Chains A and B, each alone.
Chain A
Amino acid sequence: MKHIIFSLSLAACCASVHADVIGFDDLASSETAVIADGYAGFNWTGVGVIGADAYPDSGFANGVVSVANVAFNHGGGTVTISNAAGFDFIGAFFTSAWYEQELAFEGSRAGQLLFATDVSYGIDTVTPQWIELGWRGIDTLTIYNSSGTQWAMDAFTASATAPNTVPEPGTLALCGIAAAGCLAARRRRPLQRA
């Protein structure tokens, strides 16, 4: 219930693009299973779900923003998240599971690279880092990491709006700021576990 409230509050922040926030809390924690294609409308390659209590004091535990679970990159590798219908990737919280490391991202559509980061995003094992990209109209998001070790992802926030809808450039940014504000408030006052 609290997850829903949280998602709704974030959606309210970003109502203009109908952002969905995926918290992975309705999936079972598993070190070995990967997220099934179709979950929340996306195909997930190399992504699993793990509970905060699996490794106390790790970035998995510290990286939980919504309720109890985080997504993670299986085996410490590169992952892709895709939706053939296209989506706008707003951002997500990332925490490194074991060692300080960096992330880089690419967004593509129909195999064509549309976006790529040119600087890395540093993440540590203690504090979830909100990384906001606001990439519109992609069908595949690729997440690279510098050390080949695991990271945690929570509050994966993407818009399901049609890719041909062109938001005003500032709209997504404002949305992102709002989302960050909502999530920051969330981080300052953690929810009790459901």
Chain B
Amino acid sequence: MLPLFAAAQAAPTPIVFQNAAVHDPSVIKVDDMFYVFGSHLAAAKSRDLMKWQQVSDGVTASNPLFLNGASNVFTELAETFSWAQSSTLWAGDVKRMPDGKFYMYYNACKGDSPRSALGIAVANNIEGPYVDKGIILKSGMWGQPSHDGTIYDALKHPNAVDPHVFSDRAGKLWMVYGSYSGGIFILALNPSTGMPLPGQGYGKRLMGGNHARIEGAYVMYSPATSHYYLFTSFGGLDSTGGYNMRVARSLNPDGPYVDAQGNDMAAVRSDPTKPLFDDASIAPYGVKLMGSFLFERSLGDTGTGIGTGYVSPGHNSAYVDPASGKHFLIFHARFPERGEQHEIRTHQLFMNAEGWPVVAPRRYAGETLGAVRREFVQGDYMLVNHGKDISATIKKSQPIALNADGTITGAVGGSWLLTGSNGIEIRLPGASPYKGVFINGWDETAKSPAMTFSAVSREGISLFGSRLPPRTEAQVVNAVAAELSLGNTSAVTANLALPTRGTRGAVITWTSSNPAVISNTGVLTSPASGDVNVTLTARIAKGNTVVTKTFAVTVRKAGGLLAHYTFDGNLADANGIFGAGSVTGNRIDAPGGSIAFEAGVKGRAAVFDGASGVRLPNGLIASQNYSVALWLKPAALTAFSTTFFGARTTESWVSLLPMGHGGVGGASMLWSGTAWYDAGLGMTIPVGRWSHLAFTVRNGAVNVYVDGSKRFSGAGFPNVFTGTSGVFALGVNWWDVPYRGAMDDLRIYGSALSDADIAALVRQ
């Protein structure tokens, strides 16, 4: 076996990634450096396609790509911004021309309509400064003749954005471009000047139209197959848009491009009689390479977290290394549970036995395709079926096994073959064979190498597989048992989420010692009074191997006081249920810090020095119905500094701020992210004086009070505390300047208190 990763003699080169954010990254290699240019004038560079360094980001006067003495992007591209009625730029593309200079094909779009301008700016250096040469293409000239002489019609004419300029084998220069609207077009350019050849109008339409959600066109020529591959992204680019990358191919740079079933992509467009956006008419076409997916880490698997995957990956470019023959797919991706945050990702592409690309399931870590041995490819896998749909649904992995006898068992049944030195052919019911490759990759969750496969069917459906290390059934159930946790079960007031699956199809079933209080599925029936102790027993089974694990659960009457931190000289829960808080440094997980006590509203109060916080027990709140009340006397107000903070993950949290962000004018607020929710109070609590703050949540209905008066009422508040493992802190979170001031009488209830209840707390 060839070494997977570049290796020194005795130790492998550490796998190190450094991420940068460039939306719609278009790649160009200059000497030994890869550059990507994307939307919003963002750019980044990397020597190894793993560690990226941000070069620029944001259409600002100081953006170095256009900063040139007194000139900047706004002065240089003033005509473009004026036409597009926009102050930002869409996906650019840079091509080195025969004169040795770098030609940036920039573009701007109004956004809510295809009114766009696309032009060329030229620089002597890849990193600028770029000097405008003028607009070459416009769209969205309503009621006016367009480039082909007819009145502009967005159903059939393109949106002049998102170009990719490439040279074909004969040295001709082309530009593919377009987004939604009339589709993806190709225009012949003058190979010397980069300007459009005359008399083409908008050029030739390759696919799309009638506002079909198709964009991000990129053409790659592969010497391995002598085909041109036209990549596009279908769907919407945001985290709920179902963005996914597709490919079609042709023997000619300007088409016709066909998918693996031979469908001419020029016929793929939306039905104009249907409402925007008609995805159903386009979803069956093109070879879908990758959509939203997750190699889900299951209970008992190596590593931590939810696993590795992407949301709405797309708008790719590609690069073929002439020396190694490696093909790379470079795109942006969002991520499960990380909202709209996006980063550059690079994966290798391989050509299957039919000459269609398949994408390495794992991001590029320096691996090289080589011969694989059957012993190393059979075994347990996580399988992702990308399907053919345009959907916000994240395709989660399912457990399967590639068995030694050639069968596939588990979540799907079928058969597999190792073909040649590293090929795979998978047969599943109802589809033609999936053909692809086995390739060793880097598992970011397990932080170790892992065998993977990627294969695509003639129907244009891609499968990803990632192998799990060999384990016996006993090892599987013991690993699941070791990790299985219900969090803090010392004061449960809501239904418990009882896991039912572990890794590799392990099944977990539960038995309650008192089903009248907690059912075998975790449904809680609140006791009439007092606490009830229940034992839950988990039976973990894999094949014929079974282990059990028990959990002691104390069920508390719902709606009552869960925790009460009086701060009377200590951080104990006066309610006697939860543990005491512990002092942290200036972040929730930082050591150090100190908390003092002084005279408060009632007894003594905790004093936060602006560099310390308090970590409270996990699982204080574990339902959608709760109330939090406390007294605050800030010594200073700083934006984002939290007082009460609770989080399920770093992407799902609740924060009570004496001073909020600019979006609420700096008012006090209850904030939730990153499914953003701003509950601004329209006032800022005073410095140096006690104020009583409280908020109640009942299934998304949220009320926030100051001194007993309701200052905010709203719906749709995020359901953050879905389990008993939530993290809670006072005065600190993972990011912001700690709270400075005093805090007293923190009360947490397992229900949404009434207005009168809150008012009564103030009077107490």
Binding site for B on A (CB under 8 A): 31-32, 48, 50, 54-55, 58, 60, 72, 74-78, 97-102, 104, 117-120, 122, 144-150
Contacts and interface: CB of A to CB of B under 8 A. Distances in A.
B111 interface: no
Given A76-B3, A144-B1, A147-B440, A99 B10 contact: no
Contact of B8 (A31, A104, A145, A146): A31
B375 A147 contact: no
A77 B7 CA distance: 9
B4 interface: yes
Contacts of B282: none
B470 interface: yes
Contacts of A54: 10
Sort A-B residue pairs by CB-CB distance and give the 5 closest, nearest first: A148-B4, A147-B449, A120-B375, A148-B3, A146-B376
Interface residues of B, number: 22
B375 A117 contact: yes
Nearest to A106: B373
A32 B451 CA distance: 28
B4 A31 contact: no
B10 A31 contact: yes
B448 interface: yes
A118 B379 CA distance: 12
B448 A100 contact: yes
Contacts of A147: 4, 440, 448-449
Contacts of A98: 11-12
A120 B1 contact: no
B335 to A, nearest CB: 24
A125 to B, nearest CB: 10
A77 B3 contact: yes
B2 interface: yes
Looking at A55, A74, A99, the one whose CB has the most chain B CB atoms below 10 A away is: A99
B5 A149 contact: yes
A148 B470 CA distance: 17
A74 B7 CA distance: 9
Contacts of A101: 449
B9 interface: yes
A189 B730 CA distance: 51
Nearest to A102: B376
B272 interface: no
A147 B451 CA distance: 8
Majority secondary structure, B binding face = loop
B448 A99 contact: yes
16 contacts: A31-B8, A31-B10, A60-B10, A74-B10, A77-B2, A77-B3, A78-B1, A97-B10, A100-B469, A102-B375, A104-B373, A120-B373, A120-B375, A144-B373, A146-B373, A148-B5
B9 A74 contact: yes
A75 B3 contact: yes
B404 interface: yes
Interface of B: 1-5, 7-12, 373-376, 404, 440, 448-449, 451, 469-470
A104 B375 contact: yes
A75 B4 contact: no
A150 B448 contact: no
A148 B372 CA distance: 11
B468 to A, nearest CB: 11
A3 to B, nearest CB: 22
B12 A149 contact: yes
A76 B4 contact: yes
Given A76-B12, A101-B449, A102-B470, A149 B7 contact: yes
Contact of A50 (B10, B404, B451): B10
B286 to A, nearest CB: 34
A118 to B, nearest CB: 7
A140 B479 CA distance: 39
Contacts of B9: 31-32, 48, 74-75
Contact of B10 (A55, A100, A104): A55
A120 B1 CA distance: 14
Given A75-B3, A146-B451, A148-B1, A122 B11 contact: no
Contacts of B440: 146-148
A22 to B, nearest CB: 19
Nearest to A122: B470
Nearest to B377: A146
Given A99-B448, A118-B404, 17 more contacts: A31-B8, A31-B9, A31-B10, A75-B7, A75-B9, A98-B11, A98-B12, A102-B375, A104-B376, A120-B376, A122-B469, A146-B1, A147-B448, A148-B1, A148-B4, A149-B3, A150-B10
Nearest to B471: A122
B470 A97 contact: no
A150 B7 CA distance: 9
Contacts of B404: 118-119
B486 to A, nearest CB: 29
B84 to A, nearest CB: 50
Nearest to A101: B449
A99 B3 contact: no
Contacts of B373: 104, 120, 144, 146
A150 B12 CA distance: 8
Given A75-B3, A104-B373, A122-B469, A149 B449 contact: yes
